[in-house]
Amino acid sequence: MMSSRPATCWSCGGAIDDADRYCRHCGQGRGAALAWYYRPLWIAVLTLTALGPFALPLVWRTPRLDRTGKWAASLVIILLTAWIGWELLETLRRLGSLLDSDISLT
């Protein structure tokens, strides 16, 4: 006879059985029942398409990444956001100078 050893929930820290797919205390899924937006692939998709740096809470709440992975993903997201912001600023400066020179020619 096998006894199931209680594990802890990644979200609330409550005790759950190994056979459970969801936490009985907070309802969060585990394993294959984990919400899609906590999977690293979907965090990357959301970061690149819609959320940008607002995806950082998803990075830090996912149980699929260890602490080092969370720090690395956070650093990549922050650097990517800074680079996109810098490129946007430079593009706006170039556009402004083109518009200024075009206006002075007329």
Q: Which residue has the higher pLDDT, 43 or 4?
A: 43
Query: How long, in residues, is the chain?
Result: 106
Confidence of residue 1 (pLDDT cuts 50, 70, 90): very low
Q: Please count the structural domains in the chain.
A: 2
Amino acid identity of residue 25, one-letter, is H
Q: Is the pLDDT of residue 17 over 60?
A: yes
Same-domain status, 56 and 30: no
pTM beyond 0.75, yes or no: no
Confidence of residue 29 (pLDDT cuts 50, 70, 90): confident
**Which candidate, 27, 33, 22, 94, places its Cα nearest to that of 64?**
33
Same-domain status, 55 and 89: yes
The pLDDT tens digits of the residues spanning 56-86 come to 999 998 888 899 999 999 999 999 999 999 9
Same-domain status, 25 and 44: no
Same-domain status, 39 and 91: yes
CB 33 within 8 A of CB 21: yes
Same-domain status, 49 and 84: yes
Q: Which stretch of DSSP H or E encloses residue 79?
A: helix 67-105
Q: Is the pLDDT of residue 104 over 70?
A: no
Determine the structural domain holding residue 63 and report its residue range.
35-105
Same-domain status, 29 and 52: no
Task: Give me the pLDDT at residue 32, please.
Answer: 67
